[in-house]
Structure 1
Amino acid sequence: MPYEDRGFFQEHIDKFLGGEVGDEELIASYTAVQHYLAELVAAKRADPTDDVLSDLTDGDLTDEELRGMALILLSAGFDTTANMLALGTFALLRNPEQLAALRADPALAEQAVEELLRYLSVAKQFFRVALEDVELGGHTIPAGTTVILSLNTANRDPERFPDPHTLDLRRQDGGHLAFGHGIHQCLGQQLARVEMRVAFPALLTRFPTLRLAVPAEEVALRPETADIYGVKSLPVTWDV
C-alpha cells in the first residue's frame, strides 16, 4: 500500500476493529476499504511493483481473493502490532520493576515480548467449527458446532501459568496462545515478534525517563467489544 495512503487506511481500520462505531458507520468504512483495495489490486495487475500484493497478482487468484488477502494482511498486520506496542508500553510503565529490568538488559527483549503477548493478548477471541465430536471438560462439542475460543482467558489460566495476572518478563513458562494454535496460527507472528523486540528496547533507550503523563486510571482504553484490544491514546512525558 502506498505510504501516503496510510491515514485513510488507519482511520477506517480503527473504525471496524475498534468497537466504538455503529453498524452503519462500520459498514461504510468496510465498503470504503473494499473500494480502495479494488483499485489497488487493479493498479498492481496493470503495473506490478516490488511488493507482496504485486507478486500475488501473478497467479490464478481472483480479484475478490486478492482483496480479501490484502485486507487481512494490512488490517491484522497493522492494528494488532500497533496496539501491542502501545498497550505493552502502558503495561511496562505500570510495572516499573519490569520496565527497569528490560531497560537494563535489552537482551531480555525476546523473553519480554513473549510475556507481554501472554499477559495482554490483544486478539482476544476467535471462532472455530468442530470438524468432529470433541470431548472437552466433561462436555461433548458436536461436529459442526461453532465455538468461541477465548485466547486471553487461556493465557491467564492458573493451571498453566503460575501467578498468571502478574507481568514477569523473566517468566520461563512458554506456550501462550496469543497467535492462535495449529493450522490457524497467525502467519505474521514472526514479523510481529521482530517489530516488538526492536521497538520496546529502542523506546526505553531513546527515552530513559519515559513515564505516564496522566494517572493510569485516566488512560483511555478501547472498549471490551473491540476486535483488537488496546489504548485509544497513551499520554506520556519525559525529561529533556
Structure 2
Amino acid sequence: MAKQKIAILTGAGMSAESGIKTFRDADGLWEGHDVKEVATPEGFANNPALVLNFYNQRRRQLHHVQPNSGHKALVALEEKFEVKIITQNVDNLHEKAGSTDVLHLHGELLKVRSTKNEDLILDWEGDLMLGDLDEKGHQLRPHIVWFGELVPMLEPAITYTMKADIIIIIGTSMQVYPAAGLVNYAKPNTPIYFIDPSPSVNTNEFDKLTIIQETAANGVPKLVQELLK
C-alpha cells in the first residue's frame, strides 16, 4: 500500500530554538542591516563585499548550531509516510537532523552560484570572497533568493502540496508568501496542522485545521507522536 504523503512547510520559527535568528527583528533590520542592503540584487550590485561578508557570517554560524527536537522529530515521520519538507529557511538543520527530502524555497547558505549562469550551483562550506569565480571567470554569489528575484523551486513545491494527504505548517505566519500561497493548493478537506507559539491564522479559511500553540521544539514531537500512533 502506498504511503500517505505529508507536505511540511517550515519557516524561521523552526530554527529559532537552535539559535538561528529569525529573518528580521521587530525594527525591520536583519542582523543590523537594512534588508535592501543585503538581500536584493541592487544591494549586491552596490556593495558586493558587504553582502558576501553578511552571508559569510551566516554560513559560519551554521557550523556551531544543531538541529532542535522539532527537526529531529520530523525525521521519524519518514518511517510511515512519504515526507517532503518545503522550507523557507536557508540553513541546513533539516538535513543535519536526517530528513532526506528537503526543498529550499529561498536557497541555501551552503551553496553558491554563478552571477551569470543561475543553473551553475556549487557546494560551499567556507567564506565566499570577491574574486571567487566560476569556470568562465564570473563572480560567484550566495545561492539565496533575494527580494525581487523569482523563486525557482515554487513550482515543485506547489505540485507536491497539491498531492499531499496531510499538511503541517511550522514556525511561519500563514499571512506571508510563499507558505500562505502554498496552502491554497491543498486538496479539499486535507488535514492541516499549524504549529506556532503565536498563531496568526483565520480558522474559518480551512476545513480541517488543528492549531498547536507551541514552539517547534515542543509542538512538533507531540504531533509526530500522534501521527505515528
TM-score, length-normalised on structure 2? 0.25
Q: Which has the larger radius of gyration?
A: 1
Task: Give the helix-richer structure, 1 or 2.
Answer: 1
